[in-house]
Amino acid sequence: MNEKPLKLKDLRQNLAPYLYVWPKSPLTSSPVWREDPESRMLVRDMPEEDAAVAADDQWPALFPFPSSLVTTTDGERTGLEINVGASIVNRFPYVISLSLCKQNLSERYQNTRTFMEILERGGAVSIQLLPPGAELDRALQVIQSTPETETSNRIAQTGLAVRQAKTNPSAVFQAAYLVFEARLVKPGKDFSGHPIYPQPWVDAGSHRTYLLEINAIQLRQDIAIGKNQILWRNSPGWHPNLEWEQTVFPGNDAIMKKLAYNKIYTPDYVFPSANTIAFESDAVEDGMAIKYLAPLPEDQVEVDNDRARWPSFFPSPMGLITTWVADGVPNLMPCGSTTIISRHPMIVVCCVASSAINERYTARATLEVIRRTKRFGCGIPFVHNAITTAIKYTGNVSHGLDPEKVKNSGLVVMSNEWSPILRALPVHFDCEVIDETPLGTHSMFMGEVRKIWARPDVTPEDPLEWSPWADLAF
């Protein structure tokens, strides 16, 4: 485990101003973290007290959230917000989740009720990515300095050029290179005829999580045709200082050969590239290639494994979802659709494929285990070759095919009662399932965080380093 991957700021100078590092002070100096004598890991109990969050609303541990700008309108008022943790949660229909705070948690962490009211009246949003630089900084500065109740003034105050989205009246920044236009989901039926989406949001903890069906995707034309590329690192960078048990990837060739479909994985995404899907646009306008999505999920379903891939890049983190299948039998499901939907109590969400469409989308072994045990763990990987190899193996081979898949991935498991902890990983959340929401092809499990574990070599001198924004190649 000695490999030293390049720090993101060395790789991408543009991202240096947006980097988030954790921890800022030694965990050992905080009364909430204690050492687990057996494993030497640091551990803290969750949830926090209300007063503790009011006094210090910093995230208790790093989670690799992507950030985006979101606009909305109800025809009279407009809204502009920064959002952390928007996540693609279902494939057919193609649904994105957006969590917004409905409580005042601390002086700094306030509700976004005005924006939520406008969104609920207007019913649609544009979720946008701007390249690092002056225009993004201007938008962020205005959001920070304009009270939420005056969200309607924010777009004008940025002074940035805007135009109207294609499928709803919200504003799109000319500077955006990627735009997801989406509308609150309507009640429908899943592939077995069961009702889904009785309402277009779920209330959990301090936040309301909106479920929005994606109607159109705009991608800057130079990117769509491959003249420019989006660069996204989905796991934190880190230089571990301790040697941890890690076996060399034994894999299982016989099993790999049996796979009808092999999902490619790298923590450093370059989109578009030879390994990614080509962006198939229906039109080119305002310098943007635009793809419209069919309104009915049954018309969207692509049975072909390759065509069933996400039609475009959207930044997602990588959560390593662990479960105990039985006593002493761990399982691991790498999950891109992992996010946090509530700050207090902290709630981790993982979206697990639940219906059989093709080899790519088929019910995961993890689904039954989470339903039965009501527990899962969520480990945060870092950029490292051995971990990438393990994610490729466990993200393609189901427990049903290889009951020893975790061992064969090379990752070593620590026998934590709640959920298997992968020794190599810097951070792990123990989560208790408080709700399951079926979404069509996937089921969304909400896990309230009960404990957070951190390796003792996660320190301010050697912190995890994370950029919530993607960069462009030039």
Rounded least distance, CB 380 to ligand FMN, Å: 14
Binding ligand FMN (rule: CB under 6 A), the pick from 46, 80, 301, 397 is 397
Residue 336 interacting with ligand FMN (CB under 6 A): yes
How far apart, in whole angstroms, are the C-alpha atoms of residue 370 and residue 329? 14
Other CB atoms within a 10 A radius of the CB of residue 461 amount to 8
**Is 196 in a helix, a strand, or coil?**
strand
Which residues in 399-428 contact ligand FMN (CB under 6 A)? 399
Asked whether the CA dihedral 418, 320, 63, 158 is positive or negative, the reply is negative
Rounded least distance, CB 257 to ligand FMN, Å: 16
How far apart, in whole angstroms, are the C-alpha atoms of residue 304 and residue 308? 6
Name the strand (E) or helix (H) holding 415: none
For 165, phi then psi, to 5°, come to -65, 165
Binding ligand FMN (rule: CB under 6 A), the pick from 32, 52, 365, 433 is 365
Q: Which residue, 131 or 251, has its beta carbon nearer to ligand FMN?
A: 251
Q: Using CB atoms, what's the residue nearest to ligand FMN? A: 395
Binding ligand FMN (rule: CB under 6 A), the pick from 79, 200, 251, 395 is 395
Residue 119 interacting with ligand FMN (CB under 6 A): no
C-beta of residue 456 within 8 angstroms of C-beta of residue 115: no
Residue 251 interacting with ligand FMN (CB under 6 A): no
Rounded least distance, CB 96 to ligand FMN, Å: 13
Q: Which residue, 228 or 305, has its beta carbon nearer to ligand FMN?
A: 305
Task: Provide DSSP, 226-273.
Answer: TSS-EEEE-S-B----S----------HHHHHH-S------SEEEESS
Residue 352 interacting with ligand FMN (CB under 6 A): yes
C-beta of residue 100 within 8 angstroms of C-beta of residue 109: no
C-beta of residue 390 within 8 angstroms of C-beta of residue 248: no
Rounded least distance, CB 30 to ligand FMN, Å: 32
Rounded least distance, CB 183 to ligand FMN, Å: 22
Q: Which residue, 221 or 337, has its beta carbon nearer to ligand FMN?
A: 337
HSE at residue 439, side-chain half, CA atoms within 13 A, is 32
Contact window for ligand FMN (CB under 6 A) among 225-233, 283-291, 360-368, 372-380: 360-368
How far apart, in whole angstroms, are the C-alpha atoms of residue 370 and residue 418? 12
Rounded least distance, CB 331 to ligand FMN, Å: 5
Residue 68 interacting with ligand FMN (CB under 6 A): no
Q: Which residue, 205 or 334, has its beta carbon nearer to ligand FMN?
A: 334
Tokens linked to 208? 């309301």
Q: Which residue, 115 or 313, has its beta carbon nearer to ligand FMN?
A: 313
Tokens linked to 19? 């980097």
How far apart, in whole angstroms, are the C-alpha atoms of residue 460 and residue 21? 8
Binding ligand FMN (rule: CB under 6 A), the pick from 83, 398, 416, 467 is 398
Residue 263 interacting with ligand FMN (CB under 6 A): yes
Rounded least distance, CB 297 to ligand FMN, Å: 17
Residue 366 interacting with ligand FMN (CB under 6 A): yes
Contact window for ligand FMN (CB under 6 A) among 28-36, 69-77, 249-257, 390-398: 390-398
Other CB atoms within a 10 A radius of the CB of residue 369 amount to 23
Q: Which residue, 158 or 337, has its beta carbon nearer to ligand FMN?
A: 337
Contact window for ligand FMN (CB under 6 A) among 123-131, 359-367, 376-384, 406-414: 359-367
Contact window for ligand FMN (CB under 6 A) among 63-71, 199-207, 376-384, 388-396: 388-396
Residue 331 interacting with ligand FMN (CB under 6 A): yes
How far apart, in whole angstroms, are the C-alpha atoms of residue 96 and residue 181? 10
Asked whether the CA dihedral 62, 272, 360, 181 is positive or negative, the reply is positive
How far apart, in whole angstroms, are the C-alpha atoms of residue 427 and residue 421? 9
What angle (nearest 5°) sits at the alpha carbon of residue 127, between those of residues 121 and 129? 155
Look up residue 309 and give its DSSP letter.
S
Given the rule CB under 6 A, which residues bind ligand FMN?
Answer: 263, 265, 331, 333-337, 351-353, 364-366, 391, 395-399
